[in-house]
């Protein structure tokens, strides 16, 4: 009888642990990649520091089917007609955060694959840049919009904003949750 109770306790612990763990798979997910049609993409200002600024991009699964995201979004900063578009470089993390997965024994860990549950699963990534300070306005370009195309997606989403960009725009990989930060 004791063995039966231990089995029930073990199953209960496993069930509770499964509920508490975020839905992140290894590099090889069994869930199909998200399509643009499955996602609603929004952005909010990231908490900045000194001259660093950014946006948290949130990916919400609105479909009735689970899907996954893995890797870096493509981010293009858009200025007015006089200024060229600027492609953000892929970067694991930056001053504001991102993916800091690292193992002291084996070096950087693989980027996460995030499984988004049907009807509301969420993942996020950060767009970061170094902004222009008041004394450095000369030569700065005001980028009014940015295009964000999720990994494996078929079309970009136009997000509106105003960012003074001096240098170093970067796109961090997709991570679980809505903060754009994970380790």
- 17 is a domain residue: no
Would you say residue 5 lies in a domain? no
Does 158 reside within a domain? yes
DSSP H helical ranges for the chain: 2-20
Q: Which two tokens stand for residue 127?
A: 């767009």
Q: How, if at all, do strands 89-90 and 167-171 pair?
A: parallel
Q: Is residue 110 part of a domain?
A: yes
Q: What is the rounded CA–CA span in Å between residue 9 and residue 6?
A: 5
Classify residue 127: in a domain, yes or no. yes
What pTM did the predictor assign?
Answer: 0.78
- Residue 7 falls inside a structural domain: no
* pLDDT tens digits for range 44-69: 888 877 778 889 999 999 999 999 99
How far is residue 4's CA from residue 26's CA, in Å, rounded to a whole number?
A: 33
Dist CA 99 CA 139 (whole Å): 31
List alpha helices for 34-107, DSSP H.
none
In angstroms, the CA 144 to CA 164 distance is 9
Counting the structural domains of the chain, the total is: 1
Least confident of 70-79, 103-112, 120-129, 155-164: 103-112
SS3 37: helix
Rounded alpha-carbon distances, angstroms, from residue 18 to 12, 14, 21, 22: 10, 6, 5, 8
What is the domain range of residue 102?
25-176
Per residue in 141-167, pLDDT (tens digit) is: 778 888 999 998 878 899 887 777 767
């Amino acid at each position: 009888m004791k063995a039966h109770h231990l089995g029930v306790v073990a199953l209960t612990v496993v069930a509770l642990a499964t509920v508490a763990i975020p839905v992140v798979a290894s590099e090889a997910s069994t869930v199909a990649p998200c399509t643009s049609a499955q996602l609603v993409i929004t952005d909010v200002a990231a908490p900045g520091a000194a001259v660093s600024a950014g946006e948290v991009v949130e990916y919400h699964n609105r479909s009735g089917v689970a899907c996954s995201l893995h890797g870096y979004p493509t981010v293009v900063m858009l200025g007015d007609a006089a200024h060229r578009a600027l492609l953000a470089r892929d970067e694991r993390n930056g001053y504001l955060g991102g993916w800091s997965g690292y193992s002291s024994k084996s070096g950087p860990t693989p980027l996460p694959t995030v499984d988004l549950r049907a009807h509301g699963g969420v993942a996020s990534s950060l767009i970061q840049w170094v902004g222009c300070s008041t004394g450095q306005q000369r030569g700065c370009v005001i980028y009014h919009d940015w295009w964000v195309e999720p990994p494996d997606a078929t079309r970009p989403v136009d997000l509106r904003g105003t960012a003074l960009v001096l240098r170093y725009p970067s796109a961090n990989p997709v991570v679980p949750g809505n903060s754009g930060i994970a380790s």
